Amino acid sequence: FAQGAPVVTLLGDSITAAYGLARGQGLPAQLEAALRAQGRPVRVIDAGVSGDTTAGGRARLDWALADQPDAVIVALGGNDGLRGIEPRASRENLAAILDALKARGLPVMLAGMLAPPNLGADYGREFAGTFTRLSEEHPEVVFYPFLLDGVAGNPQLNQPDRIHPNEAGVAELVRRMIPAVESLLGRVPAG
């Protein structure tokens, strides 16, 4: 890696941890490869733990930052939605994560998530609103409204479980995320 290449930690769950995929097919690896193909020498660290909730991410934040990243992408919340966790609790955990990262002076991208439709419209609205409100309360954060944008619900882009993107699905996630990630990298102080 080029000296001074920024390090980005992806704090997330199974989507980040490349669940059901080979390591090189997962989100961190494909994101790093796409950025490098654009001439951005970046190292993307996978701090994803399958099944993790916002509470789990909050609890292991210090561990996730052990590599001393230059920026962090927070991609948590999917499992909170799947488990029907009270959106207020998810918001509290995410706010604590964002506050801790801000205190360390780290540029952050927050990737939003939507709740599964089976939990009802009210829960879905409140859950999605959690991320929007956090982005409004933290104007320093790059907000990417929906991590699975363009991939959720598309059988061609998901594994048979219809939850986790397949290799092509991850490539589509990366393609859509790149502008937001570029914006995040633009906030990393020059080495």
Catalytic residues: 14, 161, 164
In three-state secondary structure terms, 31 is helix
CB 11 within 8 A of CB 155: no
Number of C-beta neighbours around residue 180 at 10 A: 17
What values do phi and psi take at 146, rounded to 5?
Answer: -145, 110
Q: Residue 52: name the closest of 95, 89, 83, 8 by CA.
A: 83
The tokens for 71 are 């920026």
Whose tokens are 């994803």? That residue is: 48
How far apart are alpha carbons 32 and 34 in whole angstroms? Answer: 6
**Amino acid letter, 96:** A
Q: Residue 16: name the closest of 54, 40, 45 by CA.
A: 45
DSSP 142: E
